Structure 1
Amino acid sequence: MALAVRELLQANGEATQGLARKLGVNLTDAHALDHLLGSADGLGPTELGQRLNIRSASATTLVDRLTANGHAQRVPHPSDRRRQTVVATEKAYREVLDALGPLFDGVEQAAARLTPEQAAATVGFLREVAAVLRGYAAEHRRPE
């Protein structure tokens, strides 16, 4: 089972590289977009840097790049006027969804071949594995 999960993670890395090429960004930018798109409230530059395991100065440069190419924007933090939050733009949402459309279609086709019981078990398993992966990542984040 663990080897199949490892294979899935490797394939995910390859898909992320493909997404980066399709969007015309580097791999770190693609990972940053993934984090921003997955965060409804956006992320602070420092938090984004921690998630990507890069230093604060590099995170600032990254946000500058994403802002310059229209994939992100800085907005005031909702509760602290001294801080900024970085959010994905509508352009980023559109471009990423367009680029990932064929991937999502393929996953849906694979899921359609499962029985409802198999699909429910698979979803439960994948969510548990995701929680394990997130826990592992949290334990090994670089302190700022």
Structure 2
Amino acid sequence: MSSAPAERPDLAVTGAHAGWRPSEAIEALDTLLQVSDSTLPTLARRAHLSESEMRSLRHFVTEDLGPAELARVLGISSAAATGIVDRLEARGHVERLPHDTDRRRTVVRLTDSGMRETLTLLQPMFQGLADLDARLTDEERVVVTRFLRDATSALKALL
């Protein structure tokens, strides 16, 4: 028994924006967001890490965090964050260090080997983005930057 494919919903927005249809730029952004959504799980599987562990490494690349701060950033419990840090530490990806000013706290820092593994996973993306950026003129870069920042603000309105 065959059935006709389901009709796709009409994407025209109702209300104040009735009749609006996504432009090619908006459709390209939507595709980027969809691909981005699948990136983290794919990289986590390649690295034999959970998605939370991979997300944590991404944060540790740019900053040292304590387990409680990591919990806040990831939106998880402190106990879950401690478990993530324990597993990453056991693999040699991070190390716990005493906090500079508060002896009761620790900070978690990415190790050199953790940094190498993370950057190796991300290198193809970094190279592609660097190549793309190099092809833009200064004027194009200003427009793209404004578009992406404004798109980010529109997405943050959902949070």
TM-score range, shorter chain: 0.7 to 0.9
Distance 1:129 1:81, change over 3 A: farther
State yes or no: 1:83 paired with 2:111: no
| Aligned partner (choices 123, 128, 131) of residue 109 of structure 1 | 131
Distance 1:126 1:92, change over 3 A: farther
1:74 positional shift: 0.6
How many residues get paired?
Answer: 135
> Equivalent residue for 2:19?
none
- TM-score of the superposed pair, with normalisation by structure 1: 0.80
| Aligned partner (choices 92, 96, 113) of residue 70 of structure 1 | 92
1:130 positional shift: 4.8
57-66 or 99-108, which deviates more: 99-108
1:47-98: CA deviation from partner (whole Å, max 9, x where unpaired): 1011111111111111100100111111011110111111111111111111
- TM-score of the superposed pair, with normalisation by structure 2: 0.73
Task: Compute the RMSD of aligned alpha carbons.
Answer: 2.3
> Equivalent residue for 1:94?
116
State yes or no: 1:26 paired with 2:50: yes
Unaligned runs of 5+ in 1: none
Structure 1's consecutive aligned runs of 4 or more residues displaced over 6 angstroms after TM superposition are none
Letter in 1 for 2:95: Q
101-110 or 77-86, which deviates more: 101-110
Higher relative contact order (CA 8 A, sep 6+): 1
Unaligned runs of 5+ in 2: 1-24
> Equivalent residue for 1:7?
31
> Equivalent residue for 1:45?
67
SS state at 1:60 partner: helix
1:104 positional shift: 1.2
Letter in 2 for 1:21: R
The percentage of counterpart residues that share the same residue type is 39
Q: Which has the higher helix share?
A: 1
SS state at 1:86 partner: strand
Whole-Å separation in 2 of the counterparts to 1:38 and 1:136: 25
